[in-house]
Structure 1
Amino acid sequence: MVRVTVWNEFRHERESDVVAEVYPDGIHAVVADAVAEAGHDIRTATLDEGPDHGLTESVLDDTDVLLWWGHAAHDEVRDEVVERVHDRVLDGTGFIALHSAHYSKIFKRLMGTSCSLKWREAAERERLWVVEPGHPIADGLGEYVELPETEMYGERFDVPAPDTLVFSSWFEGGEIFRSGCCYRRGSGNVFYFRPGHETYPIYHDEAVQQVLRNAVEWAAPGDGPDPAFGNADPIEEIDTDDDRTVH
């Protein structure tokens, strides 16, 4: 069982009737319910839950994988919280950035780039192609997932080349996009998944929910040894006397 925290701004759903009709209890609620079907331990957190945005030290201590959805209030996330999450990812916490979280402070911090892209809202069709069918995030899917109404994201997507590209999107207007990008940052697994605009019921889609469950299991930390850093004693017996050292 993976301990999962789903984080969401939870602003659009409270401020827009259009969004509230699609996600009356918040995007985080739908994502959390989808992931919970795999039997994982789920909690949610939102932007306005105190000065730590619901991501206190104790919450992060109890989190194996953090899913992040943000759009309108990236700048309101406190830098101290961003650094806290960044440190946890380097230590092994899995991180999944959803849709417009490409422009969140934490994702840009992890990528080290602007994470900018083209975009268009025209309720156009998207075909999400599985380009790495052997990857565990693609388990249970067909060759592609077709979404009838989406927001277009187009290249160039200003991120580092992914370690593995699982999904590539084609849009009705002609653009393409790297929609499922896997990275390793320190000891943590990071996955960017593009689908999920707030005015379309994309997180209700069964195939999208399957991707979310697969991604959580992929991103969860393993049971390997913790890395050791710094000055190290030799494993074999050697002469360690060396007066040339300046440390």
Structure 2
Amino acid sequence: MQRVTVWNENRHEQKNPKVREIYPEGIHGAIASFLKEESFEAKTATLDEPEHGLTDDVLNETDVLLWWGHLAHDEVSDTVVKKIHQRVLDGMGLIVLHSGHFSKIFQTLMGTGCDLKWREADEKERLWVVEPSHPIVEGIGESIELEKEEMYGEHFDIPAPDEVVLMSWFEGGEVFRSGCTFKRGSGKIFYFRPGHETYPTYHNKQIQRVISNAVKWAQPTTRNIPIRGNAKPLEDIKPKD
């Protein structure tokens, strides 16, 4: 069974009654709940737990880590970020959600500022599937329509993705690369844009399907660790005259 940890800073839920009303168990609880329904072994972790809930034991028992953050990126320990970074390089999958684009771990893995345009105006978002053969959008039609979402607009300051799976259009006219894949070391990364805290986006069945598909896609690959460094020759090297 695939082992998933859903991390959330869990600050909006404490400060904003509207967010608590939409996500009474927290954003992390809502995501973990539908993942459990899909037969994943899903647990949660939050910012204010010791080591942000991401101890060595938790990380070592996590196949895919989901990350939601917004208000408190700077409060995340650099030590924990370094451990997550190494786990991704070693093969752990990482799914970065919505405002997690400004998280320390995503910026570290991307090597860029990850900035973008944004606007809160209750506007329609349509996420177009632009890579229909990709497993992350299995079971999704041509597009996903969200009645209200926060706008993110280009230019998104990230390195060129390995694949752009979903592209958003917003009622105000902007577009955005909303579903992007990357590989770092042996790990697979998926950035997925929707999920502003004051909208019930994570209750949308199609959004849940994309996240569930992404968890399956990002799972570690069973393989031998490559040998690096100074190496003995595989064949005899004949002396050269």
Partner AA of 1:199 in structure 2:
T
Trace 1:68-87 onto structure 2 (pairs within 5 A): 68-87=67-86
Q: Distance in 2 between matches of 1:239 and 1:28?
A: 61
Give the match for residue 166 of structure 1: 165
Contact 1:153 1:177 in 2 (8 A): yes
CA distance in 2, matches of 1:13, 1:240: 70
- Structure 1 residue aligned with 2:117: 118
Question: Aligned partners of 2:166, 2:45: CA distance in 1, in Å?
Answer: 28
| 1:38 CA drift (Å) | 2.0
CA deviation string 1:76-103 (max 9, x = no partner) = 0010111110011011000000000000
Which residue in 2 is equivalent to 1:202? 201
Q: Contact 1:12–1:19 (CA<8 Å) still a contact in 2?
A: yes
Contact 1:69 1:99 in 2 (8 A): yes
The AA in structure 2 aligned to 1:89 is V
Q: Which residue of 2 aligns with 1:186?
A: 185
Could you state the TM-score of these two structures normalised by the residue count of structure 2?
0.97
Please name the residue that 1:41 is paired with: 41
Displaced runs of 4+ in structure 1, greater than 4 A? none
1:132–1:167 CA contact under 8 A, matched in 2 = yes
Please give the secondary structure, in 2, of the residue aligned with 1:53.
helix
> Equivalent residue for 1:24?
24
Secondary structure at 1:173 match in 2: coil
Percentage of identical aligned residues: 62
Question: How far apart in 2 are the matches of 1:28 and 1:238?
Answer: 57
CA distance change for structure 1 residues 233 and 133 in 2, over 3 Å: closer, same or farther? same
* 1:40 Cα deviation from its structure 2 partner: 1.3
- Within 2, Cα distance between the matches of 1:37 and 1:62? 20
Q: What does residue 65 of structure 1 align with?
A: 64
State the AA in 1 paired with 2:4.
V
Q: What's the CA shift for 1:238? A: 2.7
Aligned residue for 2:113, secondary structure, equals coil
RMSD across aligned C-alpha pairs, in angstroms? 1.2
2:150 counterpart residue number: 151
| 2:52 match: secondary structure | coil
Equivalent-residue separation in structure 2 for 1:36 and 1:233 (angstroms): 48
Shift of 1:240: 8.8
Paired amino acid for 1:120: R
SS in 1 for 2:131: coil
Match of 2:14 in 1: 14
Greater CA drift, 145-154 or 27-36 = 27-36
Task: Find out whether 1:94 has 2:93 as its counterpart.
Answer: yes
Contact in 2 for aligned 1:155/1:176 (Cα 8 Å)? yes
Unaligned runs of 5+ in 2: none
Q: Structure 1: how far apart are the matches of 2:208 and 2:150?
A: 18
**d(CA) in 2 for partners of 1:240, 1:227:** 28
Aligned residues: 240
Counterpart residue identity of residue 203, structure 2: H
Aligned to 1:228: 227
Counterpart Cα distance in 1 of 2:41 and 2:226: 27
The offset of 1:239, in angstroms, is 5.2
Using the alignment, how far apart are the partners of 1:164 and 1:177 within structure 2? Answer: 14
Q: Distance in 1 between matches of 2:238 and 2:80?
A: 46
Displacement of 1:33 after TM fit? 1.2
Q: In the superposition, relative to structure 1, how do residues 234 and 49 fare at CA in structure 2: closer, same or farther (>3 Å)? A: same
Q: Could you tell me how far apart the structure 1 residues matched to 2:225 and 2:213 are?
A: 24
TM superposition score normalised by structure 1: 0.95
Partner of 1:245: none
